[in-house]
Chain A
Amino acid sequence: MNIFVLIKQVPDTEARIRVSGGSIVHDGIKWIISPYDEIALEEALRIKQKSGATVTVVSVGPADATSAIRTAYAMGADKGIHVVHSEYAMLDSLSIAKAIEAVVRAEDVQLILAGRQGSDSDNGQVPLMLATRLGIGLIPFAVELTVGDDSVRVLSEAEGGRAVYQATLPAVITANAGLNEPRYPNLKGIMEAKKKAIDTRNFSELVPSWESMVEVVAYGDADARPKGKILEGETAADKARALVQALHEEAKVI
């Protein structure tokens, strides 16, 4: 079985995000595989261990964004495809989905896994767009996954409950928190990952003509919250009383 995992390289979730001149400052940021994508990759590696599979990670990004692929190698991915665009920041979800579509169409892929959303743009659009464009099934927010020879059964976090989806392969599945706990790469994996080749593709060869459907006007700092206050009181009961009073009279939320 050929499994493709879509991984996005994003700033560490611990990172403070700074904005300067309408753009995000990238200096000094530690880059990681987006957390949900890491869960998707872990699931692919577990399928590989259980029933054998080739796991290929695909990442669209700037030329220097290879550390996510190296980390995926260290975790156990077999192949890495890096789709490079010199002005990556200009790409929108649709053009990224089109590039991945072009990669996928040239291969024999049974299963495509991705995180439910990237932890940077929080869009969660690419997997849905990819499935729609390929005309194959999409199962969102997976928390449990059972892969058969030509079908997949997935338990998903759905609106107001849990849904079991059934789809024939190929299909796209997005990983939710709770699907698994991703492994840490071991030293041997990390060493081997450094030597492994990355299959680099040129974005404009995959998508010869494209136009961004969104104009990024400017990034800005998050709105600052008004300064709060610490409620004083002799006892816990006094403080609790002061809080309820403030919520009722000042904030008017109860």
Chain B
Amino acid sequence: MRILVIAQEKDGAFRKSSREAVTVSKKLGAQTDVFIAGTGAAAKEASAYGADTIYLFKTSEYDAEMQSRLIAAKVNEGGYKAVFFAHDWYGRDISARVAALLDTVVLSDATQISVDGDRVAITRPVYSGKAKVQLKSKGPVAVVSLRSNSFTIEESTGKGEIVEIFGDGMEPKAKIVEFTPVVTKRVSLADADRVVTGGRGIKEAANYKLIEDLADILGAAAGATRAVVDAGWADHALQVGQTGQTVAPNLYMAIGVSGAIQHLAGMSSSKIIVAVNKDPEAPIFGVATYGIVGDLFEVIPPLSEELKKMLG
């Protein structure tokens, strides 16, 4: 089986979710090639995870339409049986376009994957994690997106060859004319290994800083519940839950979060969940690995001190 992994560079490095996707492909025993768009800084790194051929599309602009056409053309020409994406912003924006060009669908947000002959079988959460479903690809090519943090990364050996590919010169129908990066030293929710989320229990906007400070000690992303976002205490981009982002970090700390079903849906596949809440009956304790029943304003200061000691 031949698999094409659609990778990304992030700050000049081979993105974590891309390392996960290449590892999964190699583990399935597939001959693994990579498509990557960007400056090219990360292309070489793909070899270290076992990619054979790395198709590099050098570009400083993000044109989803062109990238989709280039990927679909590469899939057709290379006889790939599967295309792997990460189920993140980029994967969401590109994978369905590629699938449409290939006349198929995306098996999206996979948390488990296996191969049965030429068919790909996945398990994925649905209803924001309230249930799961097993799906199997049909047709000549399977387009799959993998949930971040669901697959372990393994280094491999290889000396992949970089082959540069070029754009088709077509103008995009929808064009990005301005881009304003969010300047933050904090990791994004999508990439985070650790997330600290503040809920209504923080009581007022100014207290969201407690969540940010705790996140900074842990090198974590800061998140917020819908109530906190709706109150204007945190930006929409930080919302975790059914109408926000779904995250599955190694460590998720819910501070002053009661655990509405829509919130649980967005974080309950995290590996370790910590809940700090005054109310011992709060539903968040139902999914928590470790719970502290207590006033967050009393718990956060000593917790910060202990974490600082531990993490040096």
Q: Taking A222-B132, A225-B287 as contacts, is the C-beta distance between A211 and B306 under 8 angstroms?
A: no
Please give the distance in Å from B53's CB to the nearest CB on chain A.
Answer: 25
* A133 touching B100, Cβ below 8 Å: yes
In the complex formed, the residue of A with least CB distance to B143 is A213
Alpha-carbon gap, A86 to B282, bound state (A): 42
The interface residues of chain A lying within 8 Å CB-to-CB of B101 are 132
Say yes or no: A217 contacts B290, CB within 8 Å. Answer: no
Q: Which of A175-207 contact B (CB under 8 A)?
A: 176-178
- The stretch among A48-56, A62-70, A77-85, A115-123 that forms the contact with chain B is A115-123
Report B83-121 residues with CB < 8 Å from chain A CB.
88-90, 92-93, 95-97, 99-101, 103-109, 121
Interface flag for B201 (CB, 8 Å) = no
**A228 and B289 in contact, given A17-B127, A157-B236 (Cβ under 8 angstroms):** yes
CA distance A216 to B107 in the complex (A): 11
- Interface residue? A253 (CB, 8 A): yes
The answer for the CA separation of A141 and B134 in the assembled complex, in Å, is 27
- Tally of A-B Cβ pairs under 8 angstroms: 257
On whether the beta carbons of A217 and B135 are closer than 8 Å, the reply is yes
With known contacts A137-B173, A237-B302, A163–B179 Cβ distance under 8 A: yes
Are A166 and B99 neighbours in the complex by a CB distance under 8 Å? no
> Cβ of A166 and Cβ of B133 under 8 Å apart?
no
Knowing A217-B135, A243-B290, the reply to whether A129 touches B250 (Cβ < 8 A) is: no
Residues A161 and B180 in contact, CB atoms below 8 Å apart: yes
Least CB distance from B80 to A in Å reads 16
Chain A positions 129-175 with a Cβ under 8 Å from a chain B Cβ: 129, 131-133, 135-141, 143, 157-168, 171
Q: Is B294 an interface residue (CB 8 A)?
A: yes
A162-B68 contact in complex given A137-B172, A236-B295, C-beta closer than 8 Å? no
B136 on the interface (CB 8 Å rule)?
yes
Point out the residues of chain A lying under 8 angstroms from B107, CB to CB.
Answer: 214
Chain B residues within 8 Å of A103, by CB: none
Option from A140, A177, A215, A239 in Cβ contact (under 8 Å) with B299: A239
Closest to A225 in B: B287
The answer to whether A128 touches B251 (Cβ under 8 A) is no
Asked if A129 and B97 make an inter-chain contact with CB atoms under 8 angstroms apart, the answer reads yes
Q: What residues of A have a CB within 8 angstroms of the CB of B251 in the complex? A: 247, 251, 253-254
Bound complex: CA A229 to CA B286 (Å): 10
Q: Which residues in B have their C-beta under 8 angstroms from that of A163?
A: 62, 176, 178-180
Whether A135 pairs with B302 at a CB distance below 8 angstroms is no
Is there an interface contact between B100 and A128, defined as CB atoms closer than 8 Å? yes
Residues of A within 8 A of B133 (CB): 216-220
Question: Do A140 and B93 form a contact, CB below 8 Å, given A228-B291, A251-B289, A253-B250?
Answer: yes
Residues of A within 8 A of B176 (CB): 158, 163-165
Complex interface residues of chain A between 210 and 250 (CB less than 8 A to chain B): 211-223, 225-226, 228-231, 236-237, 239-241, 243-244, 246-248
B residues contacting A by CB (< 8 A) are: 62, 64-65, 68, 88-90, 92-93, 95-97, 99-101, 103-109, 121, 125-139, 172-182, 188, 190, 194, 218, 229, 236-237, 239, 242-244, 246, 250-251, 261-262, 265, 268-269, 271-274, 280, 285, 287-295, 298-299, 302-303, 305-307, 309-311
A-B residue pairs, 9 tightest by C-beta: A137-B174, A137-B173, A178-B236, A128-B96, A237-B302, A167-B174, A164-B178, A125-B96, A161-B181
Ordered by A's residue number, 27 sampled pairs between the chains whose C-beta atoms are within 8 Å are A17-B131, A94-B105, A119-B242, A122-B128, A124-B92, A137-B65, A138-B64, A158-B176, A161-B181, A162-B179, A163-B176, A164-B176, A168-B173, A171-B173, A214-B138, A216-B134, A216-B135, A222-B125, A222-B130, A230-B280, A230-B291, A239-B292, A240-B302, A243-B290, A244-B303, A244-B310, A251-B289
